[in-house]
Amino acid sequence: MTNTPYALVTGASSGIGLAISRTLIANNIHVYGIGRSFDTPIVSELFTPIVCDLTKTGELTNTINKLKKDIPFSYVIHNAGVGYFGPHEEQNPAKIHEMTCVNLEVPMLLTNLLLRDIKACNGTFIFISSVTAHKSNTHGCAYGATKAGLSSFARSLFDEVRKYGVKVVIIHPDMTQSNFYRNANFTACDDLSTSLIPEDIANAVEAVIKQRDGLVINEITLVPQYHRIERKS
Ligand SMILES: NC(=O)c1ccc[n+]([C@@H]2O[C@H](COP(=O)([O-])OP(=O)(O)OC[C@H]3O[C@@H](n4cnc5c(N)ncnc54)[C@H](OP(=O)(O)O)[C@@H]3O)[C@@H](O)[C@H]2O)c1
């Protein structure tokens, strides 16, 4: 085993998680990245793709329990997420369950499985939440609720574990150019002054991991200069 630090990144196969993984690797951190399909995986000896459907709780638990026997993770990046938007009456049980599971239950479960290991190395949890956690979200009631729950969980977790040297960081990005809005009738604008790009969030993660020991950047909110969303025709 080398001295290279290890990170677990959920949703490392696309968008923000892919950008974060690339940045961690550039900082000489070995990334174990979870996703269901790695169409264009990162080619690096510092990247190990883990194909796993996060909604399959038993499979996920077994995978993590096996991994942590060999890999001393010091960073856990809770990034995977899914969003279904529209009037709440048009949601269905499967969508509500998927959002609640991937966005909220899985981060709580993974934290539970890895917390002792992260405590042992004074490690860091980073939660990719959303600006929706801070506000009312018409046509995104359930999605916003999962993100508000995620931020609440992360805040309480920090209060619980800061005395053990564990860092907990919440990042709240605004609309970011990715495939995230594949199920919506709107998307992020292409214009860089009206939306974020995944690298913006990755840069925030890089700033977080480069802080001196003893300083925790607790919460970061990232917004574009102008507020605009693009309706799909
Ligand atoms: N884009 C935005 O405007 C925006 C704004 C604020 C916050 N966020 C948050 O940022 C995070 C990343 O979103 P993104 O914009 O990068 O979207 P994305 O490109 O759709 O990426 C989502 C990632 O989550 C993974 N994922 C989803 N369901 C999964 C499952 N059941 N099992 C395993 N992996 C799963 C996907 O992997 P597979 O497809 O391989 O399964 C993918 O890697 C999410 O938590 C999202 O809520 C996004």
CATH code (residue 170) = 3.40.50.720
11 CA distance to ligand 1 middle (Å) = 6
Residue 58, Cβ density class (10 Å: 0-12 exposed, 13-18 middle, ≥19 buried): exposed
164 CA distance to ligand 1 middle (Å) = 30
Which residue's alpha carbon is at the smallest distance from atom 45 of ligand 1?
81
Q: Is residue 68 part of a domain?
A: yes
Q: Which residues of 206-222 are buried (b: 16+ CB within 10 A; e: fewer)?
A: eebbeeeeeeebebbee
Residue 230's φ and ψ, nearest 5 degrees, are: -105, 125
- Structural domain including 12 reads 6-231
pLDDT of the residue at 1? 54
12 CA distance to ligand 1 middle (Å) = 8
Residue 10's φ and ψ, nearest 5 degrees, are: -85, 145
pLDDT of the residue at 47? 98
Q: Is residue 105 part of a domain?
A: yes
Atom of ligand 1 nearest to the CA of 12: 43
Query: Would the CB of 136 count as within 6 Å of ligand 1?
Result: no
pLDDT of the residue at 189? 86
Please give the average pLDDT of every successive group of 10 residues along the chain, which has 233 residues.
88 98 98 96 96 98 98 98 97 98 98 98 98 96 98 98 98 97 90 96 98 96 93 84
Domain count of the fold of the chain = 1
Q: Is residue 211 part of a domain?
A: yes
128 CA distance to ligand 1 middle (Å) = 10
Q: Is residue 1 part of a domain?
A: no
Q: Is residue 16 part of a domain?
A: yes
